Amino acid sequence: MPHPLMPKATAVWLIDKTTLTFEQIALFCGLHELEVQAIADGEVALGMHGLNPVSRGELSQEELDRCQQDPNTRLALLKSDKPQPKSRNKGARYTPVSKRGDRPNAIAWLLKNYPELADSHISKLIGTTKPTINAIRSRTHWNTANITPLNPVGLGLCNGEDLEDAIAKARKRAGKLNATRAATAPDGIVGKHRIQEERTAEKFQLKTSSPNLESNEQVRSDTSELDP
């Protein structure tokens, strides 16, 4: 059974904008019902922008209204005449000549909506170069005035699964970089630092307590001389 190009982003929109059940959304998007529930609870796809399947030509408004009225019905995906982009695991991504003019628009959309994506992720997704990405980010691109942020999936430059996978990897990487140093330190380093801190504390404690010990000994010697 065919599914939307970006199933999780479509599920986000259906959860927010419709009264469909989790089961209906899961069947339409090709997700597990528990995953849809996790999206609704904010545990999965946090911060992801929802995509309207009606405006994208993947679902008719009549079909959406029909399924909202009857929770036992299933949504039917509209057949599309557009060729579906194929995922490539190895080698550079080839972009057809007719779509290369859309790459700046796709780069601008990714930079605007998902700033956590690294330049390497964007390059791999839509087949562009890092200088081009930097030029669009700094607004020094020669065609900046005509660049309009557009979804690369809708432009046919990548598929939804590759985009969602890149976003998940970027957010996971960002979480590791923002973690505490102790959590990311190599094995043994944290323990060495603790030992050094404990030794420093012991030395400081001995230094501060030594004058008190000397004064106590002096008092004892003075009192012993006075005793008959």
pLDDT in tens, 170-187: 888 877 555 443 333 333
Q: Could you tell me if 15 and 51 lie in one domain?
A: yes
Q: Could you tell me if 166 and 200 lie in one domain?
A: no
Lowest mean pLDDT among 44-53, 122-131, 164-173, 219-228: 219-228
Domain with 52, as residue range(s), is 7-69
Residue 86 located in a structural domain: no
Residue 103 located in a structural domain: yes
Domain boundary among 138, 161, 178: 178
Domain boundary among 69, 87, 120: 69
Residue 84 located in a structural domain: no
> What pLDDT is recorded for position 11?
93
Q: Reply yes or no on whether the pLDDT at 218 is more than 60.
A: no
Residue 21 located in a structural domain: yes
Q: Reply yes or no on whether the pLDDT at 46 is more than 70.
A: yes
Residue 215 located in a structural domain: yes
Residue 91 located in a structural domain: no
Residue 83 located in a structural domain: no
pLDDT band per the 50, 70, 90 thresholds, residue 48: confident
Average pLDDT score over residue span 126-137: 91
Instruction: Please state whether the predicted TM-score (pTM) of the whole model is above 0.75.
Output: no
Q: At what angle are helices 22-29 and 33-40 packed, to 10 degrees?
A: 110
Closest of 128, 116, 130, 133 to residue 170, by C-alpha: 116
Q: Could you tell me if 105 and 145 lie in one domain?
A: yes
Q: Could you tell me if 167 and 107 lie in one domain?
A: yes
Residue 17 located in a structural domain: yes
Q: Could you tell me if 169 and 101 lie in one domain?
A: yes
CB 5 within 8 A of CB 160: yes
Count of domains for the chain? 3
